[in-house]
Copies of this chain bind each other. A is one copy, B any other.
Amino acid sequence: MHEGAPADPTIGELSEGEVLARIAARTGRAAAALVGPGDDAAVVATPSGSVVATTDTLVHGPDFRLAWSSGYDLGWKAAAVNLADVAAMGARPTALLVALAMPNDTRISFVEALADGLREACDALAPGCAVVGGDLTVSATLTLAITALGDLDGRAPVLRSGARPGDVVAVAGELGVAARGLAILFDRFRDGSGAPVAVEGALLASGEHAALRGQLRPSPPIGLGVMAAVAGAHAMMDVSDGLGLDARRMADASRVTIDLDPAALGDDPVRAIEGGEDHALLATFGDDVLPPGFRAIGRVVDSGEAPVTVAGRAYGGPGGWDPYRDWDSVSG
């Protein structure tokens, strides 16, 4: 370090090139990268003749709060939610592109932790996948827009529209845990005015810890997307906005009704149906023998008066998280 240089400069005190170099030193290398970061664009191998591509954004305010999420959490979650969309097609994630818009007073240590979170989420959830490119810009609102790429290894993609009457409806991963974590944050980690207060250092019961982890640093079952595809899943999607809403989307796309079994939805079936952000994989299979990691939660039936039923009765409850309806920038 130069004499007199700040120990943890803000990105406004560094050049764009320096910030990029600090990030690139931490994000690893994708196995499929033919050209990695540093040129005008990355080049990623797609040996099977197609690429799966999806983008998802985390915005400070509606999607996260810095009092609740560390830089590491944020990088991890941004990677995880995008990897889940690739997995939900039955594909293997190969590469991430990261567009990072940050206030000028963001500390470089925060950005480095974010890069660590991106890399470690890839290493844990989708080995071989890593950041291949990105973009840095200044913004008043901290924003991460991630694009994830994936490869189908020659298989057909598994769409939302393939569910058939008679299929078993199954899920892999948690349902309702991230929502429980969000409820804990809203109930216990806000001050009198509703502003978020820090989670770090608080005493937590073990169930609370798991719920907060599910909300702040989720670990969707990425590898099971390929397993489901290989096992012949008819339809698949990730449960990002709540099982009730997402099952309805699958039912509508497939022109069927999905009947959920509340007895299969754990201790709190309402939270399992209404809670979002777990990024579990919802799939339907023609065979009652499910691939490892999946559990049956219902059955596909002929299209009836409601797209989703619970134990045969029309489900009309809240559909989960819709940022246009649910986020109030003043109170929340």
Q: Once bound together, how far apart are the Cα atoms of A34 and B91, in whole Å?
A: 14
Contact A132 B99 (CB under 8 A): no
Q: Once bound together, how far apart are the Cα atoms of A62 and B143, in whole Å?
A: 14
Neighbouring B residues of A237 by C-beta, 8 Å: 39-40
CB-CB contacts below 8 Å: A61-116 with B: 61-63, 84-86, 88-89, 91, 95, 97-99, 101, 104
Q: Separation in Å of the A316 CB from the closest CB of chain B?
A: 16
Q: How many residues of A contact B (CB 8 A)?
A: 74
Contact B39 A44 (CB under 8 A): no
- A199 near B: Cβ within 8 Å? no
Contact with B along A178-217 (1 / 0, CB 8 A): 0000000000000000000000000000000000000000
Contact B152 A40 (CB under 8 A): no
Contact A139 B62 (CB under 8 A): yes
CB-CB contacts below 8 Å: A33-52 with B: 34-35, 38-47, 49-52
**With A11-B324, A35-B159, A138-B324 known to touch, is A150 a contact of B41 (CB < 8 Å)?**
yes
- A134 near B: Cβ within 8 Å? yes
Neighbouring B residues of A19 by C-beta, 8 Å: 324
Q: Which of B11, B134, B141 contacts A140, CB < 8 Å?
A: B141
Neighbouring B residues of A135 by C-beta, 8 Å: 55-57, 145
Q: Which of B34, B40, B45, B54 contacts A40, CB < 8 Å?
A: B54
Contact B85 A138 (CB under 8 A): no
Binding site for B on A (CB under 8 A): 11-12, 14-16, 19, 34-35, 38-47, 49-57, 59, 61-63, 84-86, 88-89, 91, 95, 97-99, 101, 104, 132-141, 143, 145, 147-150, 152, 157, 159-161, 236-238, 253, 322-325, 327, 329
- CB-based closest 8 A-B pairs: A145-B145, A41-B54, A141-B141, A40-B88, A99-B145, A46-B46, A147-B147, A55-B97
